[in-house]
Amino acid sequence: MTSFRAAILAALFLLLQTVSVLADDVTLRARDGSIALSGTLLGFDGEFYRLRTDYGELTVDGSGVLCEGPGCPNLIDFVAELSISGSATIGRVLMPALIESFALRNGLVAERETLAEREILYTLRNRETEKVVGRFALRVSNTDEGFADLLADEADLVMALREIRPSEVTLAKEAGLGDLLKPNRSQIIALDAMVPIVSAANPVSALSLSDLLRILSGRLTNWRELGGPDAPVVIHLRDAQSGFAQAVEDRLLRPRGARLAEDVTRHGDNTALARSVSRDPFGFGLASFSEIGTAKPLVLTGPCGFRLAAERRTVKTEDFPLTAPMFVYIPARRLPALAREFLGFTRSDAAQIVIRRAGFVDQAPEEVPVDLQGDRFANAIRVAEGAEGLAALQEMTRALADMRRLTTTFRFEPGSATLDAQSRSNVLQLARALEAGLYDGRRLVFVGFSDGQGAAAGNLKIAQRRADAVRKAVLEFAETADLDRLVIESRAFGETMPMACDDTAWGRDVNRRVEVWVE
For 437-490, the DSSP string reads: TTTTTSEEEEEEE--SSS-HHHHHHHHHHHHHHHHHHHHHH-TT--GGGSEEEE
Is 222 contained in some domain? Answer: no
What is the per-residue pLDDT for 511?
A: 86
Residue 173 sits in the same domain as residue 315: yes
Answer with the one of 39, 68, 97 that is the final residue of a domain. 68
388 and 511 share one domain: yes
List pLDDT tens digits, range 303-323.
Answer: 777 788 999 988 998 888 899
Q: d(Cα 177, Cα 151) in Å, to the nearest integer? A: 8
Rounded to 10 deg, the angle between the 349-357 and 95-105 helix axes is: 140
Tell which residue, 106, 143, 146, 145, has the closest CA to residue 127. Answer: 106
Residue that terminates a domain, selected from 34, 68, 102 = 68
Question: Is the separation of the CB atoms in 329 and 157 below 8 Å?
Answer: yes
Which residues are CB-contacts of 337 (< 8 A; sequence separation ≥ 6)? 45, 46, 47, 80
In a domain, 136, yes or no: yes
List the domain range (segments joined by +) for residue 321.
83-210+287-363
Domain shared by 324 and 467, yes or no: no
pTM (2 d.p.) = 0.80
The amino acid that residue 83 corresponds to is S
**Cα distance between residue 52 and residue 62, in whole Å:** 15
Strands (E), 270-330: 283-288, 296-297, 299-301, 307-308, 323-329
Q: Are residues 369 and 345 in the same domain?
A: no
Q: Which of 363, 380, 398 is the last residue of a domain?
A: 363
Burial 120-146 (b: 16+ CB within 10 A, else e): bebbbbeeeeeebbbbbbbbbbbbbbb
**Would 252 be classed as within a structural domain?**
no
Same domain membership, residue 195 and residue 46: no
pLDDT of residue 20: 33
SS3 103: helix
Say yes or no: 407 and 300 in one domain: no
Task: State residue 446 phi and psi, 5-degree precision.
Answer: -85, 115
Counting the structural domains of the chain, the total is 3
Beta strands in 96-185 (DSSP E): 108-116, 119-126, 132-141, 157-160
Burial 230-263 (b: 16+ CB within 10 A, else e): eeebbbbbbbeebbbbbbbbebbbeebebebbee
Q: Are residues 500 and 393 in the same domain?
A: yes
Residue type, 184: N
Q: Domain with 200 in it: what CATH number?
A: 3.40.190.10
Is residue 410 domain-shared with residue 509, that is, in the same domain? yes
* Secondary structure letter of residue 232 according to DSSP: B
Contacts of 55 (CB under 8 A, 6+ apart): 8, 11, 12, 14, 15, 19
Same domain, 383 and 459: yes
Q: Is residue 282 part of a domain?
A: no
Q: 18 with 144, same domain?
A: no
Strands (E), 250-378: 264-267, 283-288, 296-297, 299-301, 307-308, 323-329, 367-369
Specify if 463 maps to a domain: yes
388 and 477: one domain?
Answer: yes
Same domain as 327, residue 197: yes
Check the CA dihedral 252-428-358-518 and report its sign: positive
The alpha helices in 195-240, defined as continuous H runs, are 209-216
Instruction: Report CA-CA distances (Å) from 275 to 215, 237, 278, 388.
Output: 20, 12, 5, 50
- Closest to 237 (Cα-Cα) out of 253, 226, 223, 255: 253
> What are the residue ranges in the chain where pLDDT is below 50?
1-23
Residue 396: which CATH number?
3.30.1330.60
C-alpha atoms less than 13 angstroms from C-alpha of 248 in its C-beta half-sphere: 25
> CA 155 to CA 43: how far, in whole Å?
12
Radius of gyration over alpha carbons of the chain, in Å? 26
257 in any annotated domain: no
